[in-house]
Amino acid sequence: MLYYLLFCAVVIGGGYGALHYWQRRIRTDLSIGAKEEFARIGRTDAALLEGLSEADFEVIYTETNMPRFPAYLLATVGTFLLGSPIILGLLAGLAYYAQQWGWVPQPNDMAAELYLGSGDASLLRKTTPETLSYIIEDMAGFYYFFGLLFFWIAVVYVLMRRYHKKAPGDLREEILRRR
């Protein structure tokens, strides 16, 4: 588990470093674009910029034009990496207690009623109860798979909902909102 946590730290730290470097470069480009856009709007629609300094306009311009998806992608990957072992541990604990409380039938009980095959050639007649027990125990992987899949879908749902909810309007709307 220690190696996994170190791997997560390297991936998330490296991703954050790359994101920060990339955002700095994009902000530099956006500041140049903000100066040009401020001059253009000053010529064509000076009333819109009334009471707004060039520095304030640059902040608004950067917020409306800065790509946000890479930061959300990094948050999603980080949540997947750090949350998956926790979810698997919770699923294992849930399976253990469900078995202790009698909510899950024992593999031998299920193997006695399991017929895998068609017609006269059934797996029950060809294999030992121990083999059938292993087949039943491996069906628990089904619950782990779909539990983890549900967790991933929930993470994407929550983060993408936040992504779209926090989306800025266009430049004109943001300028009018800030005045």
Write down the pTM of the prediction.
0.74
- The DSSP string of the chain is -HHHHHHHHHHHHHHHHHHHHHHHHHHHHHHHHHHHHHHHHHHH-GGGGTT--HHHHHHHHHHHHS--HHHHHHHHHHHHHHHHHHHHHHHHHHHHHHHHTT-S--HHHHHTT---EETTEEHHHHS-HHHHHHHHHHTHHHHHHHHHHHHHHHHHHHHHHHHHHT----HHHHHHHH-
What pLDDT shows up at residue 99? Answer: 74
Q: Please, is 14 exposed, middle or buried when counting C-beta atoms within 10 Å of its C-beta (0-12, 13-18, 19+)?
A: exposed
Can you tell me the mean pLDDT for 22-30? Answer: 95
Closest CA to 113 of 126, 99, 132: 132
Counting every residue written for the chain, the total comes to 179
pLDDT tens for each residue of 129-142:
666 566 666 666 78
| Residues 19, 23, 24, 26, CA torsion sign | positive
Token digits for 133? 């027990």
pLDDT tens-place string over residues 57-81? 999 999 999 999 999 999 999 999 9
| Residues 83-95, mean pLDDT to the nearest whole number | 91
Q: Which residues of 28-66 are buried (b: 16+ CB within 10 A; e: fewer)?
A: eebeeebeebbeebeeeeeeebeeeeeeebbebbbebbe
